[in-house]
Structure 1
Amino acid sequence: MMGITNLNNSHLDNAKLSSILNAITILEMELENFNFNLSPQDRKRYGSINEQNKLLVNKVYDYNKNQPNLSAPDMDWQEFENDYNSRRNLEGMISRLNALITKMVDAKTLHDYDNYQAALDDYGFTSYKAGGSAAGFQTKYAELKQFFARSGTAKKPDTDTPEL
């Protein structure tokens, strides 16, 4: 029985691919000033602002905006607000980019599945033709069959989608 194939018929033509890659390059250039390469230890040390701590930051920000007379006078409140706004803006952009990444991964998964199913169909055809001694198919079959594990008994090729 033939599996479901062509789950994703949307393809990137050269113009669209070029446009997307240019947009990514522009994004990379625009974010150049925000490129920091933290070590795992640094991420652990500086990444301690969990949800509870974000609530604290938000509450301090609100107090500073609404009742500045209650704020510590020796703090650089402009820098605090700049950090606050940058954090908020980056968080929103990260959320949007993560949504795009999820969509791209899903599209790629469907293309991977389609390719794998088509490869299985071609392997079955090659196996059939090699059994009939059609010219060239024995060599192709020998090269393709290495991708199908064999235990002591004959079995059909594993049709589970491999981890990609």
Structure 2
Amino acid sequence: MPITNLNNTHLTTAQVDTAKTSLTTLEAALESINVNLSAEDRQKYGSINEQNKLFVNKVYDFNKNQPELSAIEVDWAEFGNDYTSRQNYEGLIARLDSLVTRLKNAKTLHDYDNYQAALTDYAFTAYKAGTASPGYEVKQNELKQFFSKTTKSDGIPPADKA
């Protein structure tokens, strides 16, 4: 017997509404930084790797601690703004990535629960269709299209066909 109901925690309608409203607020707050980069732009500008981040950090440190050694050709106010924005975005991205991972994990458990319950219902349908109960043969025919093969003689599809 499969383990079912791995996640019995469900958001209320009010919690879902609050989350959606919060996402809308976040989207509006970040609207001013929305930039559409083409695939070519993304390739051209890319993101700096860890070594280059360390390089940027060191240049920033030198500018803050020994500004007389900094190139006058660089707009250091803009450099500082870019640096601060980069740090802020990295922090937000890390938090959002963590949130997305947690949502995906919870969804995975609900998906599993739904699939296991659907398999149970399909097995019941196959049983009832075998007893010639009205409506079950049609239901079974509609459901069995989702499975290319069955591994058991009772018509229950294999669990790994999700």
TM range (shorter): over 0.9
How far has the Cα of 1:74 moved from its partner? 2.5
Aligned position for 1:107: 106
Greater Cα shift, 16-25 or 35-44: 35-44
Inter-partner Cα distance in structure 1 for 2:149 and 2:119? 16
Inter-partner Cα distance in structure 2 for 1:159 and 1:20? 33
Question: Is the counterpart of residue 158 in structure 1 residue 158 in structure 2?
Answer: yes
How far has the Cα of 1:161 moved from its partner? 5.5
Aligned position for 2:20: 21
Inter-partner Cα distance in structure 1 for 2:32 and 2:25? 13
How far has the Cα of 1:65 moved from its partner? 0.3
Alignment of 1:70-149 (within 5 A): 70-149=69-148
Inter-partner Cα distance in structure 2 for 1:57 and 1:66? 14
When normalised by structure 2's length, the TM-score is 0.94
* Structure 2 unaligned regions, length at least 5: none
CA, structure 1 residues 161+107, in 2 after alignment: closer, same or farther (shift >3 Å)?
farther
Give the residue type in structure 2 aligned to 1:69: E
Inter-partner Cα distance in structure 1 for 2:147 and 2:132? 21
Q: Is 1:8–1:111's contact at 8 Å kept on the other side of the alignment?
A: yes
Aligned position for 1:11: 10
Render the CA deviation track for 1:65-107: whole Å, top value 9, x for unaligned: 0000000123211100000000011001000100000000111
Q: Is 2:63–2:69's contact at 8 Å kept on the other side of the alignment?
A: yes
Q: Is 1:116–1:161's contact at 8 Å kept on the other side of the alignment?
A: no
Give the residue type in structure 1 aligned to 2:20: L
Inter-partner Cα distance in structure 2 for 1:19 and 1:82? 32
Structure 2 counterpart SS, 1:160:
helix
Inter-partner Cα distance in structure 1 for 2:74 and 2:148? 66
Aligned position for 2:65: 66
Q: Identity, % of aligned pairs?
A: 59
Render the CA deviation track for 1:18-77: whole Å, top value 9, x for unaligned: 000000000000000111111111111111511111111000000000000000123211
Q: How many residues align?
A: 161
Q: Is 2:119–2:156's contact at 8 Å kept on the other side of the alignment?
A: no
CA-based RMSD: 1.7
Render the CA deviation track for 1:129-151: whole Å, top value 9, x for unaligned: 01001111111111111112137
CA, structure 1 residues 48+148, in 2 after alignment: closer, same or farther (shift >3 Å)?
closer
Inter-partner Cα distance in structure 2 for 1:69 and 1:32? 37
Alignment of 1:42-61 (within 5 A): 42-61=41-60
When normalised by structure 1's length, the TM-score is 0.93
How far has the Cα of 1:156 moved from its partner? 4.5
